[in-house]
Structure formats: structure tokens, C-alpha cells
Structure 1
Amino acid sequence: MTARPPRTPRGELIADTALALLVERGMRGLTHRAVDELAGLPPGSTSNQARTRQALLEVAVGRQAEREARVLVPAELPVPGGGLDDLAASLALALHRYLTGNRELLVSRYELALEATRRPELRAYYDAAGQRFREPLVALMRAAGSEAPERHALSLISWSEGLMFSCAAGSYHAEVPSEPEIRRGFTELLRGMLAGPPPR
């Protein structure tokens, strides 16, 4: 892994422009020249930041993770052992915020995820960036009494990913559920996993 998240205004501009190109033109539209042109930078500016395509993709993945962290905010998750209702409410808040105010990030996420299936070196970088979201959820499931915290965290992530895809690019793109609806979905899922009483 050679690239690092951008630390300068120009680096952030390049990374944000790379994500914008993924949304507007897809993976084939992401080139060093296209980033320079869309960002209004002198030719060669992007190459100075990320010399290879792999490096440019890693910059995009790093920026994607940074921006997702501002939306999903792992720090907003309740303390371990705080109760299922608090966990469901926190997850619903983050997911609804993602779906209603940051849908372009979902498109760039899917472009990068699909590219990672074709590039093992990008796969490693993509997976490492995603650990910041997975590990706190595993810890919360363990604290909630899960007998299989890794598996239950996977189920929660899979349910969330499915909902995000359906609302961003699937058949529910025009019918984003409300925050209370998402919270009820999480509550049903969590109680089913942890054998609690049925949701009210």
C-alpha cells in the first residue's frame, strides 16, 4: 500500500475530484488527465500526487473512507453493553444520513469495490480502509452477548449494504425509508440474532 490519504488542500482536491469522476463517468472515466481537467489544475498535477493508476485508486479509496467516516461516524456508536435499542437507533441514524445526504458516496463506493475485485493490490487497501467500521461493530455485538459476534456483525453489515444498494442504485432508489423504519429494521434483526423478545 503506497498511497496515503491526502494531507494538503491540493491533495484533497485531487482525491475528491477522483471520486466525483467515478460518480459521473465510472471507472473508465477516471484518469490523471481527467482529474487535472475537472479540478482545474495544471497538467501533471495529479501525476505528481499519484504517479500510477494504482496509486490514484488508493488515494480515492483513502478519501472515500475519510468521507464515509464523517457520515457513518463510528464514534457515535453506543458504548459496548449500552443496549439493543441504543445500538439500533445509532445505526439507523448513520444509515439514514448516508442515504439521504450522501448518495454520491455510495456510487463511488460501488465503483471502487468492483474494481477491487479485479485488482488484488487494491483489494488489500480497500479491505484495510473498511476495518475502521467493522471492528467497532464486532465489539458491540460481543458486548451485547452475541455468541457469534463476527457472524452477526457480518449480517448487520450485509443488511445495511443491501439497503444502501437498493436505495442508491436498485429498485428502491425513489423510496428511501425513514429513519424510524430503518431503526425498526435494525431492531428486528438484532433481536432475532440475540434471541430477545419481539420488537414492539
Structure 2
Amino acid sequence: MDARQRQLLDAAITVLGTRGTRHLTHRAVDEAAALPTGSTSNRYRTREALLTGVLTRILEAETAGWNHLAANLDPIDPDTFATTLGTLVHRLATTDRTLTLARLAIFAEAAHQPALRQHIAHGQRQLATWATPLLAALGARHPATAQRLLLALVDGLLNHQLANPDPAFEPTPAIAALLPAILAARPN
């Protein structure tokens, strides 16, 4: 991805995360990127192409966050994992709030666009390739099940915090409390 693509997609993320999906237009992205009219449509001819590009950029940013989490888990133990994941979730709900809101907007669009669903599924499979062994190292009986449950917990914490922000938001205690049950979960 070249610098211009990143600039356009980051602007589109800003539009999505601050104004919502109905405001995502090529013109709005051009304005947010401070580029001439037509710049976005030259790279992304359709709204669907733009949404796919945005999703790619979001997954790139979130994968970097998850990789950073994994890099900070030495030694790996449930307490360190809960604290590190809690820090990531807190950042996603605060510092990276716009990115996270854009992701949620894209996920809502994916309910009606099979191509976006396939792209999301691919991203989830990539996440599972390193998350599943990590959860196995934490002692998960069924790492794939634990990974799905952990993502559901993270998404739930984020959804609640984004919809009704609590200034005292601290996700680590919830993660620490539920992590033993997640690690002990049986396949569903």
C-alpha cells in the first residue's frame, strides 16, 4: 500500500469513525484527506471498493496491535495476558476510538455485503493463526473455542464502552475474571 492509499484510507476511517457510514462518500474522503475532488474515486471507483480498502487498512492496524500484544507476553501467564489485553482494549476504546468505530461500521456493512464478510473471515483466520497457539500456551483446553470466546468478550467490552463511554473504563478486571472460564471452555 502506497502513501497516497494510506492517506485516503486513513481519511475514510476518520469519516466512518466520526460521522458514520451514511457520510462515507468519495467527496467526504477527499475533503478529510485534504486532496482534490476525484482523488478517492480515482483509486476506489465504487463505494464497495472503498469499503474493502478501508477494511484492509483497519485489519492492518488491528493486526499490528495484536502483534504488539503478543510481543509483550514474555513470560506468558494468565495475569500478564489479562493485563496486556486489557491495555489493548482500553487503547482501542480511547486513543483508537475512531478506528474501532470505523471497524464496527464496516462490520455492520458486511451484514449486507458478502465480499466484506469474506474479507472479515480472512482477517479472523489470520488472527487465529497466532492467537490459538498463544491461548494453548496459556493452558486453553480447546484453543479455537477460547479464541472465539475471547474475541466475543473483547467485542462486547468495546461495544459497551463505545456506545456508552465510562470515564473510568478499565477492562482488565473483566478479562482477568473471565479468562479462566474461557481457557476451560469446551468446544461449542
TM-score of the superposed pair, with normalisation by structure 1 = 0.81
Secondary structure at the aligned position of 1:101 is classed as coil
For residues 60-105 of structure 1, the C-alpha deviation after alignment (integer angstroms, 9 at most, x for no partner) is: 01111222234443443526x8221222122112112222311111
| 1:154-165 paired onto structure 2 within 5 Å | 154-165=148-159
Structure 2 equivalent of residue 36 of structure 1: 30
1:67 corresponds to which letter in structure 2? A
1:99 equivalent to 2:93? Answer: yes
Structure 2 equivalent of residue 3 of structure 1: none
Structure 1 equivalent of residue 180 of structure 2: 191
Residues 174, 88 of structure 1: alpha-carbon distance in 2 compared, 3 angstrom cutoff:
closer
For residues 8-32 of structure 1, the C-alpha deviation after alignment (integer angstroms, 9 at most, x for no partner) is: 2221111011111112332121111
Find the aligned partners of 1:141 and 1:101 in 2 and give their Cα distance: 26
Tell me, yes or no, if the aligned pair for 1:77 and 1:91 is still in contact at 8 Å: no
Find the aligned partners of 2:11 and 2:22 in 1 and give their Cα distance: 14
Point out the structure with max Rg over C-alpha.
1
Q: Specify every segment of 5 or more residues in structure 2 that has no aligned partner in the other structure, as ranges.
A: none
Cα RMSD for the two superposed structures: 2.1
Find the aligned partners of 1:132 and 1:158 in 2 and give their Cα distance: 16
| 1:39-188 paired onto structure 2 within 5 Å | 39-72=33-66, 73-76=68-71, 78=73, 82-170=76-164, 173-178=165-170, 182-188=171-177
Residues 51, 147 of structure 1: alpha-carbon distance in 2 compared, 3 angstrom cutoff:
same
Identity %: 32
Tell me, yes or no, if the aligned pair for 2:14 and 2:32 is still in contact at 8 Å: no
Count of matched residue pairs: 183
Residues 44, 74 of structure 1: alpha-carbon distance in 2 compared, 3 angstrom cutoff:
same
Tell me, yes or no, if the aligned pair for 2:143 and 2:183 is still in contact at 8 Å: no
In the TM superposition, residue 119 of structure 1 has moved relative to its aligned partner by: 0.1
Find the aligned partners of 1:30 and 1:151 in 2 and give their Cα distance: 35
1:185 corresponds to which letter in structure 2? A
Residues 158, 58 of structure 1: alpha-carbon distance in 2 compared, 3 angstrom cutoff:
same
Tell me, yes or no, if the aligned pair for 1:78 and 1:87 is still in contact at 8 Å: yes
